[in-house]
Amino acid sequence: MVCIAGWGHTKFGKLTDMSLEDMIVAAGREALTDAGIGAEAVDGIWVGHFNGGLVPDGFPASLAMSIDPALRFKPATRLENACASGSAAVFAARQAILSGEARVALVIGVEKMTHLPTAEVAEALGHAAYQAEEAGLSFPGVFALFAQAYFDRYGDQSQALAKIAAKNHGNSVNNPLAQLQKPFDEAFCAQVSERNPIIAAPLKKTDCSLVSDGAAALVLVAEDMLGDVTKAARLRAVAQVNDVMPMSKRDLLAFEGPRKAIHQAYARAGITVNDLDVAEVHDCFTIAELLIYEAMGLAAHGHAADVLEGGVVHAGGRLPVNLSGGLKAKGHPVGATGVSMHTLIARQVLGLADAMQHPGAELGLVFNMGGSGVANYASIIETVKA
């Protein structure tokens, strides 16, 4: 088994004064300090970074050497798998430890986005779509197709999407690392207005995640190092599933890639959704979170809104989802997101999530997704040394 022994995390948002390298250094250095492990003990570095033309740094792995001189000559690799690039880095580092090639791995996820106009950010992110059929379609446009298909089959779900947005904004108030620590009520999120315009019908501004800068980092260790660290959360099980890229070849509402990844992780961990205490999931758009409830097994197809009506996924509910504020309010610096999710669930199961803490959390789910449900990563994380 592989364990998370420490983490670092910049604030997410418009970090004008920080370069890509600055963010890598800040998060990585904090993670090593938090784990109490010196840079000389690190066996490899894995960096999750999408880029897609967002920055000119197309070769960022060795920027991590600036964290500490002792990292020079350590192997460093950049991983890219769209919005799941961070989890790709986590999974690759985990595999290196399981193979015996490493005992200590430094994982960093990072993205720099806010310096560009919104249209240029949308163009860069659009590179994660299937170019033969979907070139020129923005990701709000992509997920608007999911939303419209859901509405056509199950009726207008605008109120459910507003509940998700309001929930996640409310949660973000408790997360000092969040980009937008500001509550929005359900009525505001449900209503089209000058402050909440339609971005891609039927999705409004409050249905869309944020353009963000930021980095997050983890120190992963082999389980035989538990005696050398002060805390540890175990990656009990993981699963990665990639689907075909063209949306035209998929039933959008089946959300098969996310469902298969999550349920493979359940099976490998020997659990069901009812055993989970907390989850951080990929709410790039509110419709994505709604579909993920069904993929998790919380609701049957077409009935995801029921878990919102019952308060199941809210703070204090049976299985709170996105207590950090999610991508919706915490922010979504693409390459950093998967690493951030893993840090947040590790903090939850170790009782170190401060104002975000769900009492008694011992078992959590991370679900991170790249593209339109194409690259799907699920992790089950549990307490092992608190």
Whole-number Å distance between alpha carbons of 128 and 332: 15
Question: What count of other Cβ atoms lies within 10 Å of the Cβ of residue 249?
Answer: 10
Alpha carbons within 13 A on the beta-carbon side of 89: 39
How many domains does one find in the chain? 1
Q: What is the CATH number of the domain that holds 215?
A: 3.40.47.10
The reported pLDDT for the residue numbered 292 is 98
Residue partners of 197: CB distance under 8 A and separation at least 6: 204, 205
Q: Is residue 242 part of a domain?
A: no
**Considering only CA atoms, which of 132, 8, 84, 53 is closest in space to residue 284?**
84
Whole-number Å distance between alpha carbons of 85 and 203: 25
299-316: average pLDDT: 96
322-366 per-position pLDDT tens digit: 999 999 999 999 999 999 999 999 999 999 999 999 999 999 999
Strand-by-strand arrangement of the 375-385 sheet: 76-79, 44-48, 104-111, 214-222, 2-9, 232-242, 375-385, 363-370, 278-281
Q: Is residue 27 part of a domain?
A: yes
Q: Is residue 23 part of a domain?
A: yes
Q: Is residue 250 part of a domain?
A: no
Confidence of residue 386 (pLDDT cuts 50, 70, 90): confident
The reported pLDDT for the residue numbered 254 is 97
Q: Which domain holds residue 99?
A: 2-116+211-225
88-104 per-position pLDDT tens digit: 999 999 999 999 999 99
Q: Is residue 21 part of a domain?
A: yes
Strand pairing partners for 239? 378
User: Does residue 310 surpass a pLDDT of 90?
Assistant: no
The reported pLDDT for the residue numbered 94 is 98
Whole-number Å distance between alpha carbons of 198 and 184: 17
Phi-psi group of 338: left, alpha or beta (phi > 0 → left; psi -120 to 50 → alpha; rest → beta):
alpha
User: Does residue 315 surpass a pLDDT of 90?
Assistant: yes
The reported pLDDT for the residue numbered 63 is 98
Q: Is residue 162 part of a domain?
A: no
Give the CA-trace dihedral at 175, 312, 148, 340, to 10 degrees: 30
Q: Which residues are catalytic?
A: 83, 332
Q: Is the pTM of this model over 0.85?
A: yes
Helix axes 139-154, 118-125, angle to 10 degrees: 70
164-212 per-position pLDDT tens digit: 999 999 999 999 999 999 999 999 999 999 999 999 999 999 999 999 9
Quick check: helix, strand or coil at residue 346?
helix
212-240: average pLDDT: 97
The reported pLDDT for the residue numbered 39 is 98
Q: Is residue 77 part of a domain?
A: yes
Residue 218's φ and ψ, nearest 5 degrees, are: -130, 150
271-277: average pLDDT: 98
Q: Is residue 24 part of a domain?
A: yes
**Considering only CA atoms, which of 238, 132, 149 is closest in space to residue 202?**
149
Q: Do residues 361 and 351 touch, judged by C-beta distance below 8 A?
A: yes
